[in-house]
Amino acid sequence: MKFGKLLWMFNSSKVRASKWGKKYKVKTIIIQKEEEAKFLYKLASKYANYNIVELGRKYGGSAVVMGSALRREGGTGRIYSVDLSEDHYEFSKEFIRDMGCLDYVELIKSNSQVYPLDYEINDVAFVLFDATHDYDIMKEFNVWYDRIMPNGYMIIHDYGMEKHEGVTRAVDDFVVQHGLKISDKVGRIAVIRKLK
Ligand SMILES: C[S@@+](CC[C@H](N)C(=O)[O-])C[C@H]1O[C@@H](n2cnc3c(N)ncnc32)[C@H](O)[C@@H]1O
């Protein structure tokens, strides 16, 4: 599916009017802003034959954005989408299925701060960090950094937000510890490229 077909997800009145909005009384089906989602869509399109890890799925909006990119490209990659919440699990699964993306998304019910031992996840092109919103996000960085392929990316949502100062501090500390740098900022997203 083209990115343009997903634009309704960023319009709360359209979300509310949809069966998803009615069923679950949500007005926000995706937490990413449009420019952030567009960036994720482009990155997923580029790496459609590699794997993507998403930490924090909630209703499945960002999984659908990236899954739509993989599907459009006919990619062999998968999105390993980790979330601990019972509340959103069925909703997100149904939403992802109805949007035609379930073949591309593996839903994992697990704590994002530990590696999901039932899975073997290799060739990770990038990880979207959008679960832990305090300094403990460092645990996620430590779990996933070594599993990202050379020249792959860490994509961290909510960097530089006053409300999530622990995320910003953890990113800044991690970058220094590993001799990295923030290569790009897209809305609230910080992009870090992993060196070889
Ligand atoms: C901001 S929402 C994710 C939004 C989604 N990426 C999007 O753009 O639509 C954060 C999600 O992270 C999950 N979460 C928070 N802490 C977690 C943890 N330690 N392990 C797994 N999931 C967690 C919450 O259940 C919630 O669904």
For residue 195, the model assigns a pLDDT of 83
For residue 196, the model assigns a pLDDT of 73
Domain span at residue 83 reads: 3-193
**CA 115, 120, 122, 125 torsion-angle sign:** negative
Residue 53 scores a pLDDT above 90: yes
Largest distance between two CA atoms of the chain: 48
Kindly report, residue by residue over 56-112, the tens digit of the pLDDT: 999 999 999 999 999 999 999 999 999 999 989 999 999 999 999 999 999 999 999
State how far the alpha carbon of 115 is from the alpha carbons of 38, 82, 166, in Å.
28, 10, 21
Kindly report, residue by residue over 154-174, the tens digit of the pLDDT: 999 999 999 999 999 999 999
Atom number of ligand 1 nearest to Cα 136 = 19
Domain count within the chain? 1
CA of residue 54 to ligand 1 center, whole Å: 9
Residue located nearest, by CA, to atom 25 of ligand 1: 85
Select from 57, 91, 138 the residue to mutate for testing ligand 1; criterion: most ligand atoms less than 8 Å from CB: 57
CATH number at residue 155: 3.40.50.150
- Please give the structure tokens belonging to residue 84: 């601990």
For residue 76, the model assigns a pLDDT of 96
Where is 35: in which H helix or E strand?
Answer: helix 34-46
Nearest to 138 by CA among 118, 119, 166: 166
Kindly report, residue by residue over 124-160, the tens digit of the pLDDT: 999 999 999 999 999 999 999 999 999 999 999 999 9
